[in-house]
Structure 1
Amino acid sequence: MISSPHEKYKQSSVQTSTPGQLVIMLYDGAIRFVKAGLEGISSDDIPKANMNLGKAQTIISELMSTLNYSYDISKSLYALYEYMNYLLIQTNIKKKIETGEEVLGYLQELRETWITVNKLTAGMSLSQEQ
């Protein structure tokens, strides 16, 4: 049962979002968890690093499972997601911040791309309605 107003807002936000907005939310979560995992490594809080890097991997796996292979780009995105998961595993095993930062860069760039795509598609749908 959802009790707090914040939780109710989050649930409503997810239920009323477009598919593109949901992808951006997934990127936001992955970015947040990678950052928290890297903070865990920096502060030598291994449980925090493990938990958050694992959550980021789960989100990336979800992004992989939702790809639409009728578009050529999906194969490339799958390979990139697979590589990011590999890097997160290496980050977690070796506690190397550099590999986690590489993943963070990919996630941030992909998020910005999705924001641009959402704006373009929203503009296209508006012009089609007129």
Structure 2
Amino acid sequence: MSVRNPYQTYKHNAVQTASPGELTLMLYNGCLNFIKQARQAIEEDNIQERNKYMQKAQDIIRELMVTLNTDYAVVKDMLRMYDYILRRLIEANINNDTAILDEVETYVSQFRDTWKEVLRLNRQKQYGGGVPHDGKL
């Protein structure tokens, strides 16, 4: 019988119980984490780790691209932006360039923050305004 790492169990359960919107937020956060790890690998001149984390960040951007709902006009703009981010990640990996990572991190952070706000507004709408500002029920 194998004993799982409690953190791994928590992560697994978090993914399994997340809504589609929360999963998208997790993807943005994961991408940002991999960008930070890639930057650290560049600073440590660790080519293998840099490539591993760059590829993971690229995989997340690709996943975000294929899961876009094309029923909305804004999606074309998002798709172009994701494509740009993907190309810049590849360029950063090839050129070992932290300045490109800084640029990409800014864009991914903006997407993440916008998505987080969308989730907040949806919850507020769904639950009729949510918890009062003083935190009391």
TM over 0.5: yes
Q: Residue 16 in 1 paired to residue 13 in 2?
A: no
- The corresponding residue for 1:124 is 125
TM-score by length of 1: 0.93
Tell me the amino acid that sits aligned with residue 17 of structure 1. Answer: A
CA distance in 2, matches of 1:16, 1:73: 28
- Runs of 4+ aligned structure 1 residues displaced above 4 Å come to none
Structure with more relative contact order (C-alpha pairs < 8 Å, separation 6 or more): 1
User: Residue 7 of structure 1 aligns with which residue?
Assistant: 8
Q: Which residue of 2 aligns with 1:78?
A: 79
Contact 1:88 1:103 in 2 (8 A): yes
Structure 1: runs of 5+ lacking an equivalent: none
Distance of 2:87 and 2:111 partners within structure 1: 17
Alignment coverage as a number of residue pairs: 128
Task: Report if the CA contact (8 A) 1:34-1:56 is conserved.
Answer: yes
Answer with 56-65 or 70-79: which moved more.
70-79
Flag the 1:38–1:8 CA change in 2: closer, same or farther, 3 A: same
- 1:41 partner amino acid: I
Q: 1:19 to 1:5 in 2, by over 3 A?
A: same
- Counterpart of 2:36 in structure 1 is 35
- Please give the secondary structure, in 2, of the residue aligned with 1:70: coil
Aligned counterpart, 2:91:
90
CA offset digits 1:5-29 (Å, max 9, x no partner) = 2112111111111111111100111
1:22-81 CA distances to partner (integer Å, 9 max, x unpaired)?
A: 111001110000111111111111111111001000000000010000011111111111
User: Structure 2 regions of 5+ residues with no counterpart?
Assistant: 130-137
Partner Cα distance (1:83, 1:2) in 2:
42
* Contact 1:2 1:8 survives alignment (8 Å): no
Q: 1:2 to 1:102 in 2, by over 3 A?
A: farther
| CA displacement at 1:2 relative to structure 2 | 7.3
Secondary structure at 1:122 match in 2:
helix
Percentage identity across paired residues of the two chains: 36
In the other structure, the counterpart of 1:66 is 67
Give SS of 2:128's match.
helix
Structure with greater proportional helix content: 1
Residue 127 of structure 1 and its aligned partner are, at CA, apart by 2.2
